[in-house]
Amino acid sequence: MKLFRIKPEYFQKFSAAMVAYSLFVILWGAFVRISNSGDGCGKSWPLCHNSIIPSTKHLPTWIEYGHRLTSGIYGILILFLVITAFASFPKKHFVRKIAVASGVLTITEALLGARLVLAGLVGANASIERAVTMSIHLINSLFLVAVLVLLYDWSKERIYKVKFSEFKAKTISFSAVITFLVIGTSGTIAALSTTLFPAESLLSGVLADFSKSSHFLVRVRITHPLSATFLGVVLITLTYLAYIKSKDECLKFRTTVLMGLIPAGIGIGYSTLFLLSPLFLKLLHLSWAYFIWTGLILCISRAIQLNFQVIPQDCGVE
């Protein structure tokens, strides 16, 4: 294990790089859906058309294959991350526990991706099962990114055990997380609806949203901009109540950034809606959602550190 032992500051940088790579893989997965390339490798998994490297010039196949390849590399990197966490930190250290969680969530992430492919929940499939599976997939991805963010923020600490039951701001923090997950899942369904049932104009799209003859995915997509606006305000309020009054400058800074990211995200969302969801804005909207999520997790992480008085003076990598 000594071979994999690295300094905490290098482990922190590695964790930060994994957060960035996670976003890259997630965006590529979104592009697979948007480009209707989810069935590009057929129903074979993890191989592509039962081959390690497909022999075809069919573009959707290569788009899907590229996503599987980057996801495979991601799994190898997570395995290395877990090994280095156990090699670099002592027994019962909090980082070890989070690293194990990242490994488990990576496995469930792969299984959910396999489920979408093997069950045919790709391409033009507009079933409830696909919407539910994609929503679970999103939640799993969010928690995977969250534990990687925690690895980044805790890899310089020397605390061995954390009792979250003693976390003073846990109720508000839990409420903020649930609020974001509701926004995220409604966004997943809206994104699927927009991909499968694109509107020719803003007016026709709104009319379809309220038409009883429309597909259920079309009729529920209007809930995302409405809920995102309302719950976004709720999220800002919760963040303000929980963290902004802290005397810790790092937490106040993170909170201020988060409170700026949320309205900007809402603005990007409405721009995506009014411009009929161009590819660039779809990917930017998804990216921004993960920026907000990362900011929220960093705020919660810092609040926990303050609660246990195990924080360094800096707010990031020295």
Q: What is the pLDDT of residues 3-48, one digit of tens each?
A: 677 788 899 999 999 999 999 999 999 999 999 888 889 888 888 9
Average per-residue pLDDT in the chain?
A: 89
Q: Are 167 and 122 in contact (CB under 8 A)?
A: no
Dump pLDDT digits (tens) for 95-130: 999 999 999 999 999 999 999 998 999 988 999 999
Catalytic amino acids? 64
SS3 of 137-203: HHHHHHHHHHHHHHHHHHCCCCCCCCCHHHCCCHHHHHHHHHHHHHHHHHHHHHHHHHHHCCCCCHH
247 pLDDT tier (thresholds 50, 70, 90): confident
Dump pLDDT digits (tens) for 65-104: 999 999 999 999 999 999 999 999 988 888 999 999 999 9
Exposure letters 248-274 (e unless 16+ CB within 10 A, then b) = bebbbebbeebbebbeebbebbeebbe
pTM: 0.92
